[in-house]
Amino acid sequence: MTVCRTRQGEVRGRTSPSGVTSFLGVPYAAPPFGALRFLAPAPPEPWTGVRDATVHGPTAPHAPYAPPFDALVPDDVIPGEDCLNLNVWTPAPEAGAGLPVLVWLHGGAFGNGSGSVSAYDGSAFARDGVVCVTLNYRLGTDGFLRLPGRPDNRGLLDQIAALRWVQDNIAAFGGDPRQVTVFGESAGAMSIGALLAMDAARGLFHRAILQSGACHHFLRPATAGLVTARLAERLGIEPTWEAFAGVPLRELLPAQAELRAEVTADPARWGEVALNLMPFEPVLPGLALPGPDCGVDLLVGSNREEYRLFLVPTGRLGSVPLAALHAMTAAYGLDPAEALPVYRASRPAATPGELLDAVATDWFYRVPAIRLAEAVPGSYLYEFAWRSPRFDGALGACHALELPFVFDRLHDPSSAPLLGADPPQALADAVHGAWVSFARTGDPGWPSYDPEGSRTTMTFGAAATPAPVDDPRAEERLLWEGVR
């Protein structure tokens, strides 16, 4: 057992035979319940003696994923109120080691996920000389529902509190607080996009990796208020924080899940919420892209067929009507008569569902990544293009597929439903190695993205040998100019 000292007290971790020491379930803020419900995170209470940190702490309350995603996407539900906690993996649990630090923000549509799932075990990063931190932040109603009289974006405030904890404490675990890279996927990456525009987060991280999410997804205050009103209506309460605080979690969490299902089933009623498919998101007045002076090095990217995760396991890929394809393309801001022939040019045999995947992938993920890279000169862009063999190969390079490669966890049991058998270790070596290199040096190993030049994008594809390409699918990218 190994002991490190935090500002709140000492914690005892466990060292593996490989020499990586983990500290699990360390509180970075007080339990956000009782008098602290729906408030900004408060500092954790100090403790005496040595606190055991060998098992994961409670997760932020959330309902499980709905089928079929409950069997595909790793998640954890650990009950308990002390849910604002984090985990640290380090090869050198001692002050003065000065190692770079990676801080992980999990995805889950702002309503699911946790930092404790085995797929996010940080041992491979620690093995390669990087201190890795994963964390839990408030989700759903507690984290992102707009509640008059209470601060917006409480989940983002939790993330900021965790990053402050890293600044205050990570040196004791061998990390360098001046070399912090925050990285996240999906809602985690979208969170980073918001953090880049928040003064409270400035200086807390120095590099950022945004996987399948950027500065695109948020709710305007008026729309967020409509979500609050609808959830209150479902629960039969007034849309106030006091009323929501009085609803037991056993009733609140299913209602949140039902609300998300309602958005998917009846999009016409929901406007911009239906486009994002997420009733719980950061509440912002508008899109805010960081500028050249943001002071953060960026690595951003997406997967080539992200939207197939939402079309293939549900059986929708082969049943999308042509009229629905036209309607969704128009809803994303494109003229279907102009855009669909461009997409079909490189996919002549594509079905309407396959074209919807291409258009929706660009709108949700690829184009926001490009715009962020354009906004911050010197950014690096990637595309993950390895295709899963699952669902007879139809799953493709879908959303979340890159995660086991990033964490070098190809053989974690929770990854198998997406990966299938025998995923290429050489590709994991390349992807994971690029992330480690970026955390160490700010350079993942290929030329930066130049909007006035080649627009170099690193493709992680089937050959398991990364290859930089110039402006992939430029004709499709150009369709989106002027669409916000």
186 is an active site residue = yes
C-alpha–C-alpha distance, residues 100 and 205, integer Å: 11
Q: Which of 185, 281, 306, 354 is catalytic?
A: 306
Euclidean distance between CA atoms 414 and 75, whole angstroms: 9
84: amino acid identity, one letter: L
Q: Let me know if 448 is a catalytic residue.
A: no
Cα 50 to chain center, whole Å? 33
Residues belonging to the chain:
484
Closest CA to 281 of 217, 197, 227: 217
| Cβ–Cβ under 8 Å, residues 50 and 10 | yes
Question: Which residue type does 92 have?
Answer: A
Q: How far apart are CA 263 and CA 276, in angstroms?
A: 9
Distance CA 279, CA 144 (A): 9
306 given a catalytic annotation: yes
In angstroms, rounded to a whole number, what is the distance separating the alpha carbons of residues 138 and 160? Answer: 12
Nearest 5 degrees, angle CA 319-CA 321-CA 326?
140
Nearest to 428 by CA among 412, 404, 405: 405
The Cβ of residue 320 has, within 10 Å, a number of other Cβ atoms equal to 18
| Catalytic site residue from 186, 212, 388, 415 | 186
| Candidates 56, 216, 217, 399; catalytic one | 399
Rg (CA), the chain: 22
- What are the catalytic residues? 186, 306, 399
